[in-house]
Structure 1
Amino acid sequence: MDTGLVGDRRWQEKIFTGEWRDGGGGVLPVIEPATGAELGVAGKAAPDDVARSVARADEAQAAWAAAPFSERAGVLRRAAELWTEHSAEVRTWLVREAGSVRRKAMRELGGTVAECWEAAALPSHPLGEVLPSERATLSMTRRTPVGVVGVIAPFNLPLKLAFRSVAPALALGNAVVLKPDPRTPVSGGVALARVFEEAGLPPGVLHVLPGGADVGAALVVQPAVRAVSFTGSSRAGHAVAELCARHSTRVHLELGGNSALIVMPDADLDRAVAAASYGAFYHQGQGCIVVGRHLVHDSVYDTYAQMLAEKAAGLTVGNPAEQDVALGPLIDAHQRDSVDALVTGSVEAGAKPLTGGTYQGLFYRPTVLADTGPGAPAYDAEVFGPVASVTRFSTADEAVELASDSPYGLALSILTADVTAGLEMAAAIPTGLAHINDQTIADDAHAPFGGLGESGNASRFGGPAANIEAYTDTRWITVHSAIPSY
């Protein structure tokens, strides 16, 4: 970690405003959750830094928007090449800073590259249309950049979940001020700043300001920030949405989830358990689209629960920088204690622990709880940890009712040999994403992504339609050959 994008260490104790400079909030130690070791020291922004960055971004945005579309596309294409060129270095940071196992880090980086190539295609998309008119006039719409976009990103997939907002916003001619999570300021912030520096993005178009909630709040209320993209918890998302509403700022929310996986009696149990284990324990369960609730038909419930418990008990947990393990550490002690409280509360409420429920340091064993259901904390809440709650149902209608009975509406999985029946069930359950005969971890750069209810305000990520809608305004323009007679 001493060479390459991040290895030059210019970022140490600095924030990025088009140049690396001291932040008003002091510094942020970058801690490896697996060992507690300090990997470096990032700069920390203060609210005053936000005001200065937004003002500079607002000044720089007009020239960036006016640049030839091929120039903007070229910067994105070069960025994609840089992610690939420096992939080993970036993966190492994802493993050590975010606690990612190696396969998750590879998948996250691959998704980031895909997001970059998709964004590179946006500048050449048609940004308007000709409308019919009953008068002798040319009537048309034109898409224009919103201006300055604020991006607030989380710790769990720090690179991809920041980049999927930053890249399309830049590609469409906006300036961006990014606030990465203070627990992952390098892989979620510094790395992006360095890539775009090297890719030739003009100074001042992108700012990276690691910091806490005060920095996020300061970003949202800046008058020049005309759109905010927030990915994080539902609780924090509500606060962001309220601030945006007060300032008439467009807000795109990708929030929490408690996704259901439905196992019908005709499902292949060996494959179902393998898929469910992947979906439940991916990145230690720290993901909005992981499987939280396993809804299993009575006829296969006992077998499924036992097989899932055996699968979980056999998964390796350890330091992903040293071993090729299935699960790494949780991000910090607060998250670990939150997970353990939900597990303990569920056992007290009557859930039966089949495996797991223990931890050492930040390493939490994958946990399977049987006989859960509404009222059990680990069933009702988004756990954000490696916990599978297994609940039985008797009929398809009961499965639909259980899956729908949640304030969250992000992802859904239905495992069945009857694909038509699976599609019918999915149509009756309100979620933004639904997968028949697959688990819930899926996020393609060209596909719409977003949730309903407590999971967000519908699809605001993925694909040209969603991104153009998110980061441009629509203007109506008419042209007459001469001034009409009135």
Structure 2
Amino acid sequence: MNTDFSRIYIDGEWKKGSSDKTVENVNPFTGEGIVTIQAGDKDDLNEAYEAAVRAQAEWQKELPQKKRAILEKVVTVMEDNKELIIDWLIKESGSTAMKAEVEFGASINIVKEAAGFPFHMEGKIMPSQTPGKENRVYRNPLGVIGIISPWNFPFHLTMRSIAPAIATGNGVVVKPATDTPVTGGLIFASIFEAAGLPKGLLNVVAGRGSEIGDDMVTHSAPRLISFTGSTEVGRHIGELAGRNLKKTALELGGNNALVVLEDADIEQAVESALFGKFYHQGQICMSLNRILIHRDRYEEFTERFLELAKNLKYGDPEEKSTNVGPLINSDQVERILKDIEASVEQGAEIRLGGQADGNVLEPTVLTGATNKMPIAENEIFGPVAVLIPFDSEEEAVDMVNDYSFGLSGSVHSSNIERGTSFAHKIHTGMIHVNDQPVNDEAHMPFGGEKDSGLGRFNGEWVLEEFTTLKWLSVQHSPRDYGPFISQLK
């Protein structure tokens, strides 16, 4: 398996990018450079897409067992190189060792799930309203899929698109985030190359969004753009794709809430909230943005939450006991600190943390906040917990639904049916009773509503995104076209 990630990967070849710009890969904890990559430009991108088109024409005709065998080999290559992958996740994306281990496992599950997809490309034989006709429906690959990957869970969220795209007979071009060009892109070229994937099917062009971002979408080759990232960028991609009549699979931002009803098990709710808020520094689209607690249990919850949050270990992500590592870059730290400051000016109180050392932001807890303060209204994407009281279940529903996002959520109640009833009232793509919102299973539909995105990943649902249907009819006996033809004879 190639471990020199200083070059981009096009048509089965590792090559120097053609741009005069570079992608500087930096460790977010130490600030030290990891690798410098000569960036790809529009010519490289065009070459990559053309390679994918050529390779896909043959790949779609390949036997399903051959496609499955490649993906099974991918699992083996990943397992053989687990330490390498985890090391890169830690040093490039700031993942703690605990988070990197989970991300690796989730990615393995995605590939294993996708390995069965070549045998799920099923069609139908259906009746016809025309005598002597047989209707057939075929499921075919789209052709080429463009993937723009994120920096927060780069390995898992990129594999979530690559594996099913390859499994369903498509070619792929990946543009990784510039903060994680390896774990969000180039490492997959190495893995799939080692697994024996035919040349040209998977191409990775590391480059700046300002130089090749729009062209990733507008190029004539891709029929679908898979993007995970901010709603702002997702809107732009959607507009570009719409003008070019392309499909999109967009997993965007969230303003996820955990709701603690008055009959909740407080210990269970606190533990759920700690994980849902501080796991991977809160840099997950599903992370908790707001923790809403019934006023009758607010003090009890807050006391216990602070008691445990004080024990969170933060700092070096390479230390196995670290709970909270660095944010991806200084811009994220500054943005969050501004929202904290503005919210404090409006009456919120910092009960824990609130300071940063480099890119490490202390686990922070705010009380006395309202649902309209910046730290609640804006997607935090960092280790800041906001505890907000409510007085009634109806008020809690309104507070959760008050914003235009609808990705994930959670509710705690000792009455399962009550919790389920509450969950049905929340406008979101995913929600969990007596748990927290950070859940992702390879066989379950993943995606959001409203400003949180379009489409669904995982399981049978991703087949709908990455394939298309063709109606083919067969006229077994001569068709009678009635007077249109008879009057001509």
Q: TM-score, normalised by structure 1?
A: 0.96
> Identity of aligned pairs, percent?
36
SS at match of 2:427: coil
- Corresponding residue of 2:137: 141
Match of 1:99 among 94, 98, 112: 94
CA offset digits 1:123-168 (Å, max 9, x no partner): 0114211223233221121011111100001000000101101110
Match of 2:386 among 380, 389, 401: 389
- Corresponding residue of 1:417: 414
In the alignment of these two chains, the number of paired residues is 478
Q: Partners in 2 of 1:461 and 1:162 — Cα distance?
A: 11
- Corresponding residue of 1:295: 292
Q: Work out whether residues 330 and 362 of structure 1, in 8 Å CA contact, stay in contact via their aligned partners in 2.
A: yes
SS at match of 1:373: coil
Match of 1:326 among 318, 323, 327: 323
1:108 and 2:108 aligned: no
Match of 2:341 among 340, 344, 350: 344
Q: Partners in 2 of 1:6 and 1:439 — Cα distance?
A: 38
Cα shift at 1:480: 1.8
1:175 and 2:171 aligned: yes
- Comparing 346-355 with 171-180, greater Cα deviation is found at 346-355
Cα shift at 1:482: 2.9
SS at match of 1:66: coil
Q: Work out whether residues 316 and 327 of structure 1, in 8 Å CA contact, stay in contact via their aligned partners in 2.
A: yes
Q: Work out whether residues 241 and 248 of structure 2, in 8 Å CA contact, stay in contact via their aligned partners in 1.
A: yes
> Within 5 Å, which residues of 2 pair with 1:185-204?
185-204=181-200
> Within 5 Å, which residues of 2 pair with 1:395-406?
395-406=392-403
> Which amino acid in structure 2 is aligned with residue 413 of structure 1?
S
Match of 1:12 among 6, 9, 22: 6
Q: Relative to structure 1, is the Cα distance of residues 439 and 6 closer, same or farther in structure 2, using a 3 angstrom cutoff?
A: farther
1:281 and 2:278 aligned: yes
SS at match of 2:223: strand
1:80 and 2:75 aligned: yes
> Over alpha carbons, which structure has the higher Rg?
2
1:38 and 2:33 aligned: yes
> Within 5 Å, which residues of 2 pair with 1:420-431?
420-431=417-428
Q: Relative to structure 1, is the Cα distance of residues 138 and 348 closer, same or farther in structure 2, using a 3 angstrom cutoff?
A: same
Q: Partners in 2 of 1:252 and 1:323 — Cα distance?
A: 35
Q: Work out whether residues 15 and 45 of structure 1, in 8 Å CA contact, stay in contact via their aligned partners in 2.
A: no
Cα shift at 1:27: 2.9
Q: Partners in 2 of 1:179 and 1:224 — Cα distance?
A: 15
Q: Partners in 2 of 1:265 and 1:43 — Cα distance?
A: 56
Q: Work out whether residues 146 and 227 of structure 1, in 8 Å CA contact, stay in contact via their aligned partners in 2.
A: yes
SS at match of 2:414: coil
Q: Work out whether residues 141 and 476 of structure 1, in 8 Å CA contact, stay in contact via their aligned partners in 2.
A: yes
Q: Work out whether residues 8 and 186 of structure 2, in 8 Å CA contact, stay in contact via their aligned partners in 1.
A: no
- Corresponding residue of 1:237: 234
CA offset digits 1:306-342 (Å, max 9, x no partner): 2222222221111112452011100000111111111
Match of 2:17 among 23, 39, 43: 23
Q: Partners in 1 of 2:383 and 2:12 — Cα distance?
A: 39
Q: Partners in 2 of 1:428 and 1:274 — Cα distance?
A: 24
> Within 5 Å, which residues of 2 pair with 1:47-62?
47-62=42-57
Q: Partners in 2 of 1:58 and 1:221 — Cα distance?
A: 15
CA offset digits 1:260-318 (Å, max 9, x no partner): 10001111111211110000011001010001110100111012122222222221111
SS at match of 1:178: strand
Q: Partners in 1 of 2:315 and 2:127 — Cα distance?
A: 63
Q: Partners in 1 of 2:476 and 2:42 — Cα distance?
A: 51
SS at match of 2:179: coil
Q: Partners in 2 of 1:145 and 1:68 — Cα distance?
A: 14
Cα shift at 1:468: 1.2
Q: Partners in 2 of 1:158 and 1:341 — Cα distance?
A: 26
SS at match of 1:244: helix
> Which amino acid in structure 1 is aligned with residue 161 of structure 2?
S
Q: Partners in 2 of 1:46 and 1:305 — Cα distance?
A: 51
1:212 and 2:208 aligned: yes
Q: Relative to structure 1, is the Cα distance of residues 141 and 156 closer, same or farther in structure 2, using a 3 angstrom cutoff?
A: same
Q: Work out whether residues 152 and 180 of structure 1, in 8 Å CA contact, stay in contact via their aligned partners in 2.
A: yes
Q: Work out whether residues 283 and 328 of structure 1, in 8 Å CA contact, stay in contact via their aligned partners in 2.
A: yes
- Corresponding residue of 2:314: 317
> Which amino acid in structure 2 is aligned with residue 177 of structure 1?
V
Q: Partners in 2 of 1:353 and 1:310 — Cα distance?
A: 14
Cα shift at 1:49: 1.4
- Comparing 212-221 with 71-80, greater Cα deviation is found at 212-221
Q: Partners in 2 of 1:24 and 1:378 — Cα distance?
A: 42
Q: Work out whether residues 42 and 186 of structure 1, in 8 Å CA contact, stay in contact via their aligned partners in 2.
A: no
Match of 2:122 among 118, 127, 141: 127
Q: Partners in 1 of 2:395 and 2:235 — Cα distance?
A: 31
1:163 and 2:151 aligned: no
Q: Partners in 2 of 1:384 and 1:24 — Cα distance?
A: 34
SS at match of 1:277: helix
Q: TM-score, normalised by structure 2?
A: 0.96
- Corresponding residue of 2:447: 450
SS at match of 2:76: helix
Cα shift at 1:234: 0.4
CA offset digits 1:418-471 (Å, max 9, x no partner): 1101111111110000100001110001100000111102x420112x121111
- Corresponding residue of 2:456: 460
- Corresponding residue of 1:378: 375
Cα shift at 1:179: 0.6
Cα shift at 1:213: 1.7
Q: Work out whether residues 98 and 320 of structure 2, in 8 Å CA contact, stay in contact via their aligned partners in 1.
A: no
What are structure 1's unaligned runs of at least 5 residues?
none
Q: Partners in 1 of 2:11 and 2:359 — Cα distance?
A: 34
What are structure 2's unaligned runs of at least 5 residues?
482-489
Q: Work out whether residues 8 and 204 of structure 2, in 8 Å CA contact, stay in contact via their aligned partners in 1.
A: no
CA offset digits 1:196-235 (Å, max 9, x no partner): 0011111111111112223221110011111110100001
Match of 1:480 among 464, 471, 475: 475
